[in-house]
Every structure is written in structure tokens, then in C-alpha cells.
Amino acid sequence: MSTLPGARGYSPTAVVLNLLLGLPGVVPVWLLYQFAVNWPLAALGWTDREPTDNDGVLPWLLLPGPVVLGSGALWWLANRAVRRRTAPGGSRAGYWLTSVLLTLVPTVVLIIVL
């Protein structure tokens, strides 16, 4: 079905699941991007910090942290259940790589469109 390496036996259910999880997944991806740009990449000198972000790193860990962890846990639990049901004999690495890439499709489309 898929042309990605190691993705033989990847079910249509998993494709739909990951594309649908990618829609609300745009928010945690954006939060991770904002954190990376304002903290580690800015500390390396690769980007400039947001000038109005002067509260430190603690609000970034308290507010977006649970959103990212919760959506990651939901994604993992949903994919774990689907993988056990639909592709028990397929490649584990191929399944998880394909799942991550499919989940990022809505984010990439949004970046291209905007």
C-alpha cells in the first residue's frame, strides 16, 4: 500500500488514524517549534529570541508541557492498539516511522499553504 521502506502490511485504518491525529497534532508541533526557537536554538545563536518572552523557561514547561505530553501519550496509545490489531507481523520500525510521517502531514500542508 505504501512506498515507504518497511511499511508493508500498513493498514488503511492506521493511515486514517494518523492523518486524523495529525490535525490536532499541529498544536503540539507548533509548541515544540516555538520552544526550540526561543530557548535551545537561541542559546546556540542560531535564532533570535522573541523579545516579549521574558518570563523564563518555567511557563514553557508548565503550560505547553502537559499538552505535548498528553497528545504524545494519546498518539502512542492509539497507534499501539491499531498496530497490535492490524499489523502484527510487519516491521515495527517501519510502522512507527510511517505513523510519525503520516501524523506530520497536516503540519507540513499547513506550512506550505500559509
**Alpha carbon separation from 41 to 50, 100, 110 (Å, rounded):** 12, 23, 23
The Cα–Cα gap between 105 and 101 comes to: 7
Full domain range(s) for residue 86 = 12-113
The Cα–Cα gap between 16 and 48 comes to: 38
Provide mean pLDDT across the span 22-36.
93
Predicted confidence (pLDDT) at residue 6 exceeds the cutoff of 60? no
**Domains contained in the chain, number:** 1
The angle, 0 to 180 degrees and rounded to 10, between the axes of the packed helices 92-113 and 12-22 is: 40
Predicted confidence (pLDDT) at residue 33 exceeds the cutoff of 50? yes
Which pLDDT score is estimated for 2? 47
The Cα–Cα gap between 10 and 39 comes to: 37
Q: Is residue 1 part of a domain?
A: no
Q: Is residue 4 part of a domain?
A: no
